[in-house]
Amino acid sequence: MIDPDKVSRLTASDADPDSTADSAPRRVTVLGSTGSIGRQTLEVLRLFPDRFRVQALTCGSNIDLFVEQAREFQPSCVAVGNRERVDACRSRLADTDITVVAGPEGLCEAASQPADIVMAAIVGFAGLAPVLAAIDTGATIALANKETMVVAGALVNEALEASGSTLIPVDSEHSAIFQCLAGETMRTVEEIILTASGGPFRQRPAHTFADITREEALDHPNWDMGAKITIDSATLMNKGLEVIEARWLFDLAPEEIRVLVHPQSIVHSMVAFSDGSIKAELGVPDMKVPIQYALTYPDRWPAPYERLDWTRTASLDFETPDTDRFPCLRLAYDALKAGGTAPAVLNAANEVAVRLFLDGEISFPAIPEVIENTMEAVAGPAVSDLDELNAVDAEAREVAKELTLPAAD
């Protein structure tokens, strides 16, 4: 959980932002460095070679890119999630001093290397254990992996409390809210407003949803992201996951989190205060901006990203989301209100359904159906540790898969 009072006490330093003499380089670990957020994180690090040092990197299976990254950034440790790819990685880095580890324990080992900041950019439930391992070291967590907060918000908050580490959101909406809260106190927050692009099917009639192809769903109007989050954006599950993420990051009730569709993605999110004031954070949609903010917080370092051109920003539109056509958003609110393990079940079923859709096994409208049916079949009280959560996740995945199998004769 983010304590805005604590956040407000941290102020940007007066040091010359171009000076490298004021402090040692920040040691950064990037979990999921071969993904969309991971690659953009490395782009940000490249802009400030004297001010950051890469400590560890992790990937799933993409060894070709990973080996290039390791050679360029020279971390002390790298982890390959997929054990079948580790020998290839090890032999291609044999002439270096880099330690290569593998599997889920390897990811946690890399996440535990001494670092100042750990960018959590693995996608899905697989990113949770490494985030918990990184929190245990006391490192600051730059959190892109929203599924971590969805499935284990309470556990993550307890771990943050215990280790004293800080979490800085990277998701553009939560980064916007975090920035709007600087200098404020939660007591005066009436509600937060998460903006959503509406995805590629914002105006598409519901009766054509069964014909939606994988390619159409992967063609997001404003953001270039990994496949899973792009499908989540098309179903509006991404916004649902973000509502749950916001609940745990900012300690808000479901009624205090509103979603508005804003097709231009210029307003990244807003906070409404008790005196009727609303603060918003705006900019060109570019994830490097919130990534850099998380890495340099509480400072802002000058960077050359595209500036908003007001002469070409003719209008900013807002509309209420349509949860009849996009039931995933409603399901996420249902899971949040149900509490316990419901958000973890929602997440597991969604990961399975999105995979099946990407593999051509189920249609687009079947995604919310699988999730809703899984939520009805698997329910439980809150869990108290990662082992119990792993069991819930595994059970929900099994049920979601069974629900999509053709009925036996």
Closest CB to ligand NAD belongs to which residue? 35
Could you say which of Mg ion, ligand NAD, none residue 153 binds, taking C-beta under 5 to 8 angstroms by partner kind? none
In sequence order, which residues have a C-beta less than 8 Å from that of residue 42 and are 6 or more positions away? 30, 33, 69, 73
Could you say which of Mg ion, ligand NAD, none residue 334 binds, taking C-beta under 5 to 8 angstroms by partner kind? none
- Closest CB 68 distance from ligand NAD, rounded Å: 13
Could you say which of Mg ion, ligand NAD, none residue 35 binds, taking C-beta under 5 to 8 angstroms by partner kind? ligand NAD
Is the Cβ–Cβ distance between 250 and 272 less than 8 Å? no
- Closest CB 244 distance from ligand NAD, rounded Å: 12
Number of residues in contact with ligand NAD under rule CB under 6 A: 27
Q: Which is nearer to ligand NAD, 29 or 51 (CB)?
A: 29
223 in contact with ligand NAD (CB under 6 A): yes
Could you say which of Mg ion, ligand NAD, none residue 351 binds, taking C-beta under 5 to 8 angstroms by partner kind? none
How big is the chain by its Cα radius of gyration, in Å? 21
Could you say which of Mg ion, ligand NAD, none residue 135 binds, taking C-beta under 5 to 8 angstroms by partner kind? none
Interface stretch with ligand NAD, choices 19-27, 35-43, 70-78, 368-376 (CB under 6 A): 35-43
171 in contact with ligand NAD (CB under 6 A): yes
Could you say which of Mg ion, ligand NAD, none residue 121 binds, taking C-beta under 5 to 8 angstroms by partner kind? ligand NAD
Site string for ligand NAD, 315-344 (x = CB under 6 A): ------------------------------
Could you say which of Mg ion, ligand NAD, none residue 347 binds, taking C-beta under 5 to 8 angstroms by partner kind? none
* HEC readout, the chain: CCCHHHHHHCCCCCCCCCCCCCCCCEEEEEECCCCHHHHHHHHHHHHCCCCEEEEEEEECCCHHHHHHHHHHHCCCEEEECCHHHHHHHHHHCCCCCCEEEEHHHHHHHHHCCCCCEEEECCCCHHHHHHHHHHHHCCCEEEECCHHHHHHHHHHHHHHHHHHCCCEEECCHHHHHHHHHHCCCCHHHEEEEEEEECCCCCCCCCHHHHHHCCHHHHCCCCCCCCCHHHHHHHHHCHHHHHHHHHHHHHHCCCHHHEEEEECCCCCEEEEEEECCCCEEEEECCCCCHHHHHHHHHCCCCCCCCCCCCCHHHCCCCCCECCCCCCCHHHHHHHHHHHHCCCHHHHHHHHHHHHHHHHHCCCCCCCHHHHHHHHHHHHCCCCCCCCHHHHHHHHHHHHHHHHHHHCCCCC
Question: Using CB under 6 A, which of 28, 107, 180, 243 touches ligand NAD?
Answer: 107
Q: Which is nearer to ligand NAD, 44 or 107 (CB)?
A: 107
Q: Which is nearer to ligand NAD, 228 or 355 (CB)?
A: 228
163 in contact with ligand NAD (CB under 6 A): no
32 in contact with ligand NAD (CB under 6 A): yes
Could you say which of Mg ion, ligand NAD, none residue 265 binds, taking C-beta under 5 to 8 angstroms by partner kind? none
229 in contact with ligand NAD (CB under 6 A): yes
Closest CB to Mg ion belongs to which residue? 171
Question: Using CB under 6 A, which of 4, 29, 38, 44 touches ligand NAD?
Answer: 38
Q: Which residues of this protein are in contact with ligand NAD, per CB under 6 A?
A: 32-38, 59-60, 62, 81, 107, 121-123, 126, 144-147, 171, 223, 225-226, 228-229, 287
